[in-house]
Chains A and B, each alone.
Chain A
């Protein structure tokens, strides 16, 4: 039995091919490689990803069956981490799914919040709301705050900024998201834009 990295990659090459093309093709069960009926990852599709902790850029493979994440582990073909992950990276599976200590069942991580919420002024609890309510509420507040504080000119120079709104964060997002957030914030005239690079 030869357990090289290559061997593993060949075994799953088809699955990778599937994951590469996922945006083009519908997710196809046929692309998954059945190995052994008892095998935990039997009939899973595999998608490559990059770790969400330090900036090492370690590759990971997310195995999915029937739309649910079955396993996350290092990508053995990734030249930086060669399949290895630190404790945080190795726990990425648990961001979504955990084994319930009480029942042994695999459940969605109950600590995660998956519904928009609002905490009203003076309230002691959160209130679950719809996305529409959340977006409408925020957009209204943004506009009101911006319009009330907007500075168009300062000493004859067109400055077009508001000092009253700040936006923090971005190192957790993908670059495309960073750009969209940046573009939105800057276009609103926001100066106070910062991210984790500042700490």
Chain B
């Protein structure tokens, strides 16, 4: 009997995510060369200079990729926002309540059904989005304010603080996101397929993770693939 899969992410989404992820990782690594004294001193300066310049180039990708993607698919972008900014259900709250126990005892703790985007996901990804925006804004101000323009020292200092603070925030959520999203966490195995594979989730996994959404999709059948 053929197995059923639900098409969860489009190719565009996956490419956008890939670009954002790659640039984010690169930005974090290259940023370390300014942030961490040890890294700032590696090599004779050439490496650090390369990192700093790449930080700017890649920063442009980070900012540009989602914007271009949104322009290319305005409807999808609107839906995307809708999925994240919606009213929380009792299951959403329950999910959050059980989140830590679940992380430390997935064999015993069972999570409630979820919509297309889990409440935890909404918080975590939301933090990534907000963090990304803050990094982008502060980054651009720092960049232009120290090169092309001569921004007031106070502005630069505040922006540096913002940039540093959200780096801290992002580190936490990116690592967590990767831990779960890449399926390091055993119950989440195979989820990496969603962004790095064909964007499809197996029926069984979909039922486990996003019960409400999976059933709706299976009932609708539009995005269901059998093979």
A contacts B directly in the complex (CB < 8 Å)? no
Chain A residues within CB distance 8 Å of chain B: none
Chain B residues within CB distance 8 Å of chain A: none
